[in-house]
Structure 1
Amino acid sequence: MVVCGDDGLAHRLTAELRGVYGEQVTLVVPPSERGVRTQVVGRARATTAALLDRVVNATVNRAGGAAAGPAGTSQVMAAAEPTEEVLGAAGVERAAALALVYDDDETNIRAALTARRLNPRLRLVLRLYNRRLGQYIEELLDQAAALATGGADGAGSDASTTVLSDADTAAPALVATAVAGTSKVVQTDGLLLRAVERTPMAGQLAQPGLATLALLSADGADNGGEQGPELLPDAAAVRAATGRGTVVLEQVSYAGPELPPARGAVAFASLFSRRLRWSLAGLAGCVLALAVALWVVTGTHPLSAFYLTLLDLFAIDDPAIGASVGRQILQLLSGLTGLLLLPVLLAAVLEALGTFRTASALRKPPRGLSGHVVLLGLGKIGTRVLTRLRELRIPVVCVESDPEARGLATARRLRVPVVLGDVTQEGVLEAAKIHRAHALLAVTSVDTTNLEAALYARSVRPDLRTVLRLYDDDFATAVYRTLRAAHPRASTRSRSVTHLAAPAFAGAMMGRQILGAIPVERHVLLFAAVDVGGHAQLEGRTVAEAFRPGAWRVLALDTAAASGGRREEPAAEEAYDDLPGSGLVWDLPDTYVLRATDRVVLAATRTGLAELLGRRPPERALLGAAGPRPPLRP
C-alpha cells in the first residue's frame, strides 16, 4: 500500500492499514510538512509509531496470533509533490493500492492520472471535496483502467477507483456520537449500525440485537485461552454464555421528537403572528356583535342587518338620518370599529408579504422547540453533518457566525432554523434553545471556539450531551478527561475528523467491499458487502451452512442489488425483517439458499475475510508472530 498526503489523515491512514489490516505501507509526505500544523503532524507521527509498537508487541506476546492478524511494515519517503518519479520510487508499479489524501483536489487528481498510467490495475483512493467532480474522475479513471487492461471487465475490482471526502466519511460518526453517544458505527445502505456491549445479570442472557458479534472475556480483558473474547459465536455458544457480556449489532436510533411532515404551502399560523390573529378575531367578534344588535334594535332581517353593519364599517355613504337613536349609535360604533380595522388590515398585509418574502430565507428557531441537536458551524464538516441529520429526520438548529458560510445555502434549502451570531457572545446559544436541546455538536474549525461553546453549554445544562471537533489529539484527550471528571453523569466526546475518516479510507484501499471495522477488545471485526457469485463457501449454501464460527457470518441480504429490484421470498413459511429506509433484509432464515446473484453483508475476522475473498495473507502471517520479518522494499 502507498499513502501520499500532507496532513494528519495520511499518518492516521498509515496507522490504520498497519495496525488493523497488517499491510505493508509506504508513506509519502512533504519534507517540512508545509501548510499544516507541525505540532499536530509530529504528534500524529508519534501516535502512529506508538500504535504500531503496541500492535507488534501484542502480536509477539500472543502465541498463535493469527486471530488478530500480524502487524505490517512501512517506510517513510519525503517528497514535495507526488510526481511520476516520486510515485515510481514509492513502488506504485508493484503496489496493490494507492491513497492520495492531499488537502488540494488538483494535486490528488494530477497524481491519480499519473498513477493510473503507471499501473492500470492499481486500486486508487482519492480525497476530493467536490463530489460531482469526484464522480467524473472516478468514471474516467475506471474507464482508463478497463481500456488499458484489455476490455471493460478486464480490470476487475482490483482496479477500482474510489473518491472519498473526509467530511462525508466523518459525518456519520459525528452524527452517531451526538445521537447515540458512540462513534463505533458502520454505515451501509443509508443505515447507521453500531456495536453495543451488553452485560446481563448473573445467570441471565444478554438482550440480543440484530446479531451477536462476540462474547466478551469473562474478566473483561483479553488474556487468551478460555478467558478471551469469542468472535462470531454460534447459537449454542450464545445460549451457553449466561452472565457473560456480549457485543451486539443494532441500528442507531434517535429518541427525541422527529421533524414535522413537510408542507407545500405556508400555514396560516406562520403567515400571521399570534397577536395579529387575536386582533383579527376580536374585530370579527365586534362586527358580529354589532350586526346582532342592529337586528335586535331595528327588527330588520339578519342578512340586511349584517349588510348595513358592513356599510357602516367601511364608511360607505348611507347615513341613518331619520332613523332611531339606537340605529344611529350603532352606526357610529361601526364607523369607529372600521377605523380600528384599517391598521390591523395593513399589519396583516405587511406580515403576509414579509412571510412570503422570507420563505426562502433563514428561519428562526420556533417557540417550544425541544429535543433537537444544536449544530455549531456550517463549514465543510458542518454542512455534511447537517445533511446527515436531516436524512435521519432529526430536528436541528444551526449556529453560524459567518453570513457567507457555505452551509447557509444548504440550511435555507432544507428549511433549517439558523441563528446568525458569534457563539462566544452571550445570548446566541440561548436563541438556539440550548437549554432544551438533546445534544450539542461543535464542529467549527477553531478548537477554542468549540471548547468555549461546550463549556458554556455545560453551565446551562450540566447533563447535556456534547460532541467537540478538536484538531489536536493531545488537547482533545485533556479536554475529554477534564469534562468527564467535572461532569461524570454527562456524555462528552471529543473527535478528530482525520481519526474518524481514516477507517473509511483504509477500507476503500482494501477494496470496495469493506464497509468498516469495529474493535472488540484487542481484536477487530470487519464488515463487508460481498457478491455471493464466485465464492464456493457461500454460493449454493444455506445461511446456516455458510456460517463459520470465528471466521465469518452472513448478517443481511441486500435486496436492492437484485435484478429488477425484485427477489423471491427466503422461505414460504418464514418471515424476515427489513429495516425501514434500506434495502437490507435482516434475520434471514437459516434455510435460505444463497444464490449467485445475491449480495450479502457479513461480519468477519481479518483472516476469515482474507480466506473468503481469496486474498493470500502476508508471508509473515504464515511464519508466525515470532518469525522473521520481510525486508522493506527499496
Structure 2
Amino acid sequence: MVVCGDDALAHRLAAELRDVYRERVTLVVPSAREPRRPRIPSPSRGLGRATALLGRVSAVVARTGPVVPPGTSPVAPGEESEPPPEPVRVLEAAQIDDAALTEAGIAEAGALALVHDDDDLNIHAALRARRLNPRLRLVIRLYNRKLGQHLEELLDQAAAVAAARAGDGVAVTPAEASTMVLSDTDTVAPALVATAVAGTSKVIEANGLMLRAVERAPGQSGPAGARRLCTLALLTPSPGEQPGDAVGASEAGPIDDGPVLLPDDATAGAAVDCGRIVLETVAYTGRTVRPRRLRGRGAPLASLFSRRLRWSLAGFVGAVLALAVIASLTTGEQPLHAAYLTLLDLFAIDDPALTEPPARKVLQLLSGLVGLLLLPVLVAAAIEGMGTFRSASALRRPPRGLSGHVVLLGLGKVGTRVLARLHEMRIPVVCIEADPEARGIALARRLRVPTVVGDVTQEGILEAALADRARTLLALTSEDTTNLEAALYARSVNPRLRVTLRIFDDGFATAVYRTLRAAHPGARTRSRSVSFLAAPAFAGAMMGREILGAIPVERRVLLVARVEVGEHAALVGRAVGDVRRPGRLRVLAVDPSASDAEAAPAAAGEPQPGPGQAPAQLADELDDYVLRPRDVVLLAATREGLGELLSRRPQPVRGA
C-alpha cells in the first residue's frame, strides 16, 4: 500500500493500514526542504509528526503480531510464525512525479491513496499512477464531488483500455483496478451520526443496519436495547484461566493456540468460560419524530391555525348545535329546519320574530349575539392563515415540550450531511447556525427542522435550542474554539449531556477528550479529529470497494464486506445457512430489495425502494433463504475467506 499526503489524514491512514489491516505501507511525504502551502494549517503536519506517529504504530504492531495476506493459509499450530511486519517506509519527495511513484514501488503496489489537501495535485498524481500501473486500486481525496464522479469514470475506463492493449487476456476486475473518490464530508458524517445514536463512532453501517462489535466477558450480556447477532470470535484465555472442557478444537482451530474466529453455533455455545467478541445491532432508543402525512412545501395542516383559535371555532360549533336543539324542542320544528333557522339568525339574514312566541325571540337574540362574537374570530382566522402560509418557508422554532433531542451546531458541509442522515432516522434535531446563508439552512427549511440562527457564543442561543433537555450535542463548526466553548457551556447547563466535538487537530482533540472526561466522568464525551474519523473509510476503500470496516481480534483481523451475489458463483442459488464456513466466512445480513423490485414491478405512480434504500434483513432470520443474483449480502470473513470468495490472487510476502 502506498499513501501520499502531507497532513494528519495521511499519517493516520498509514497507521490504520499498518495496525488494523497489517499491510506493508510506504508513506510518501513532501520534502522537509521544500516550501509547502497547506490549505488548512495544522501543527500536526510535517515529517517529524509522521515519524513519531509511525514509531508508536510499530510498537503496537510488534505486540499484536503478523497477519496472513489474502489467499494464503494461516499458520498451523506448532509451526513457526512469521516475523512482525516491517516498519512503515517513509519516503520524501519534492513532488509526486513518475520518479517518486516508481521509487515508492507503484508497479508492485496493490493500492494507492492520494490524500493531499490540493485537488489538482491529487488528480495529476492519479493520472500518472494509472498510466504506470493500470491494475492499481486508486483512492483519491477530492473536495469537488461532481468532478470526482467524472474522474472515477475516466480512470476506470483508462484501466480497461490499458488492459486491452496489453493483450494479456485478463480482464480488469473492480477489485483490482477500481477508483474511489472520497471527501472528508462523506466519510466523517456516518461516524458522527453513530455517536448520536450509539455514543461511539466505532459502528459499521450498511443498508439501514448499524452494527457494533464489542468484547464481552464470560457470562456478560449486552445492553437492553442491543440485539446480539452472532459470536465473531472466542478470545484466548488470559494467563491463569482455563477454558471449559467442552471447548477443545473446532473447524476454526483450537482455542488454546489463539482466538477462534467465526466459530459455529455449537462451539460458541459450549465456550462458557472464555471471553468473546460479539456482533450487536445498534438502534436509537430515544424519542423519534412522527412522520407527517401531508408533505410538500406548504405548511402542515396542524399549524395552519393555532390551538387557541381551533378551540374557539369548536366552541362556536357547539353553541350553534345547542341553539338548534333548543329551538327544535321549544318550537316543535324539525331538527334540520331548526338548525337552518339558527344559522339564519346567526348571520342576521332572517326577519325579526315580532309575532313569534317569547322563546323564539330569546333564541333569535342569542343567535345574533353568537354571530357578533363569531365575526372577530373569522377575521383572526383569516389573518393567521395568511401569516402561516407566508411563513411556511421560514425556519421553524423549537417546540416548547421538546426533550431528548440532538442539538446540531453548524450547518456547513459536514453538518448538512449529518442533518440529512438524522432526519432519515427520524431522530429529533434542533440546529444552530450563525450564518443565515449557510449551506444547510435551505435543507433545514425544507425538512421543517427547528433552527436557531445566531452565534452560539452569545448568551441565550443554547437555551433557545433547549440544550438543557437535549440528549446529544454535535458541535460541527469549522472553528475548534467555538466547538469547545459550546461544549463547555452546554455541560454547565446539562452535566450529563452527551457531547461530540469535531476538532481538526488530532493532538488538541486528544487533550480535550481527556480533560472533559476527567471533569465529567458520568457523561459521555467524544472529541474526534477529521483525520481520526476519515482514516478508517479511506483504509477500507484501499482494501477494495466491498470492505466496510475491520474488526481487530488479538493478532488477527475480521473484515466486514458488502458484496453482490451475482458477481460470485459461490453464492448464487445457495441458502444462507449453506454459505457459512466456520473460521472463514459468515453471512450477517441480506438485502433482497433489488431482486424484489425486479420480481414485482412497481405500480404506476407508486415509488419503490431501490437497492440499499430499504433496511437489510438479518441472516439469522433467513437461514433457509436462497440467494438470488441481484441480492446484496453483508459478510464477516477472515482475509483468507474473503480472498477465496473474491478470487483474488495471493499477494507475495516480502522476504518469503
Q: TM-score range by the shorter chain?
A: 0.7 to 0.9
Unaligned runs of 5+ in 1: 568-578, 624-634
1:559-574 to 2 correspondences below 5 Å: 559=592
1:397-442 deviations in Å (ceiling 9; x for gaps): 2222211111122222333222222222333223323333332222
Deviates more, 1:48-57 or 1:602-611: 602-611
- Aligned with residue 38 of structure 1, among 32, 39, 42: 42
TM-score, normalised by the number of residues in structure 1: 0.82
Give identity over the alignment, percent.
61
8 Å CA contact 2:66, 2:82 repeated in 1: no
Matches within 5 A, 1:474-485: 474-485=507-518
- After superposition, the Cα gap between the structure-2 partners of 1:90 and 1:33, relative to the gap in structure 1 and judged at 3 Å, is farther
Distance 2:231 2:595 in 1: 26
- Residue 254 (str. 1) matches residue 284 (str. 2): yes
Of the candidates 362, 378, 399, which is equivalent to residue 432 of structure 2? 399
SS in 1 for 2:489: helix
After TM superposition, the structure 1 = structure 2 runs for residues 71-220 of structure 1, keeping only pairs within 5 Å, are 71-79=86-94, 82=96, 87=101, 90-150=104-164, 154-157=171-174, 158-201=176-219, 209-219=228-238
1:180 to partner: Cα distance: 1.1
**TM-score, normalised by the number of residues in structure 2:** 0.79
Is the alpha carbon distance of 1:153 and 1:295 closer, same or farther for their aligned partners in structure 2, counting shifts above 3 Å? farther
- Listed one character per residue, the Cα deviations across residues 210-257 of structure 1 (whole Å, up to 9, x for unaligned) are 2211223444999x9949644333434423321432211122211123
1:7-43 superposed Cα distances (whole Å, 9 cap, x missing partner): 3222221222233332232324474352332313258
Which one-letter code corresponds to 1:349 in the other structure?
A: A
Q: Which residue identity is paired with 1:4?
A: C
Which residue is equivalent to 1:461? 494
CA distance 1:221–1:117, shift in 2 (3 Å) = farther
Range with bigger deviation, 235-244 or 525-534: 525-534
Provide the secondary structure at the position in 2 that maps to 1:3: strand
Between stretches 141-150 and 121-130, larger displacement belongs to 121-130
Cα separation, partners in 2 of 1:608 and 1:58, compared to 1, 3 Å = farther
Which stretch shifts more, 160-169 or 324-333? 324-333
Task: Give the 3 Å change call, closer, same or farther, for CA 544–344 of structure 1 in structure 2.
Answer: closer
Using the TM superposition, name which of 38-47 and 461-470 deviates more: 38-47
DSSP 3-state at the match of 2:39:
coil
Asked if the contact 1:186/1:517 (under 8 Å) is kept, the reply is no
Q: How many residues align?
A: 609
1:70 — aligned with what?
85
The secondary structure found in structure 2 opposite 1:378 is coil
Q: 1:510 to 1:72 in 2, by over 3 A?
A: farther
The answer on whether the counterparts of 1:463 and 1:490 sit within 8 Å (CA) in structure 2 is yes
Distance 2:573 2:330 in 1: 93
Task: State the match for 2:608 in structure 1.
Answer: none
Q: Pick the aligned partner of 1:58 from 63, 69, 84.
A: 63
C-alpha distance in structure 1 between counterparts of 2:10 and 2:309, whole Å: 59
1:489-517 Cα shifts (integer Å, max 9, x gaps): 22221222221111111111122122211
User: CA separation of 1:77/1:561 partners in 2, compared to 1, >3 Å: closer, same or farther?
Assistant: farther
Instruction: Determine whether 1:528 maps to 2:545.
Output: no
> Which residue in the other structure is 2:250 paired with?
none
Determine which of 452, 457, 466 is the counterpart of 1:424.
Answer: 457
The equivalences for 1:439-450 within 5 A come to 439-450=472-483
Cα distance between partner residues in 2 of 1:344 and 1:555: 60
Distance 1:46 1:378, change over 3 A: farther
* 1:550-575 Cα deviation digits (max 9, x unpaired): 544444455457698569xxxxxxxx
**Alpha-carbon distance change, 215 to 67 in structure 1, aligned in 2, over 3 angstroms:** farther
Q: Which runs of 5+ in 2 are unaligned?
A: 68-77, 242-253, 601-611
Cα distance in 2, alignment partners of residues 308 and 85 from structure 1? 98
Q: Residues 429, 153 of structure 1: CA spacing in aligned structure 2 closer, same or farther, 3 A cutoff?
A: farther
Equivalent position amino acid for 2:191 in 1: A
1:209-288 equivalences under 5 Å are 209-219=228-238, 226=256, 229-264=259-294, 267-288=300-321
Question: How do 1:519-598 and structure 2 match up within 5 A?
Answer: 519-521=552-554, 523-530=556-563, 549-557=582-590, 559=592, 581-583=614-616, 586-587=619-620
Alignment RMSD: 4.3
**Is the CA contact (8 Å cut-off) linking 1:202 and 1:243 kept in structure 2?**
no
Classify 1:334/1:202 alpha carbon distance in 2 versus 1 (closer, same or farther; 3 Å). Answer: closer
In 2: Cα distance, 1:531 partner to 1:482 partner: 45
In structure 2, give the amino acid aligned to 1:173: A
Indicate the residue corresponding to 1:576 in structure 2: none
**Equivalent in the alignment of 1:17:** 17
Q: Does 1:511 align with 2:531?
A: no
SS at match of 2:164: coil
Distance 1:69 1:513 in 2: 27
SS in 1 for 2:45: helix
8 Å contact 2:112–2:139 — kept in the other structure?
A: yes
The aligned residue for residue 244 of structure 2 is none
Q: CA contact under 8 A between 2:8 and 2:506: conserved in structure 1?
A: no
Task: Please state how far the C-alpha of 1:94 moved relative to its aligned partner.
Answer: 4.7
The within-5 A match list for 1:289-300 is: 289=322
The aligned counterpart of 2:650 is 616
| 2:228 alignment partner, SS class | coil
What is the alpha-carbon distance in structure 2 between the residues aligned to residue 225 and residue 332 of structure 1? 94
Contact 2:506 2:532 in 1 (8 A): no
Cα distance per residue 1:597-623 (max 9 Å; x no partner): 986543234465556654434534x65
Distance 1:177 1:46, change over 3 A: farther
Helix, strand or coil for the counterpart of 1:54? helix
Deviates more, 1:436-445 or 1:374-383: 436-445
CA distance in 2, matches of 1:347, 1:208: 53
Distance of aligned partners of 1:325 and 1:234 in 2 relative to their CA distance in 1, 3 Å threshold: closer
What corresponds to 2:419 in structure 1? Answer: 386
- Report the more deviating stretch, 91-100 or 64-73: 64-73
Going from structure 1 to structure 2, the CA distance change for 1:296 and 1:610 (only over 3 Å counts) comes to: closer
Tell me if structure 1 keeps the 8 A contact 2:29–2:93. yes
Q: Secondary structure at the match of 2:437?
A: coil
Q: Tell me, in whole angstroms, the C-alpha distance in 2 between the residues paired with 1:293 and 1:541.
A: 76
For the Cα contact (< 8 Å) 1:56–1:71, is it kept in 2?
A: no
Structure 1 letter corresponding to 2:650: R
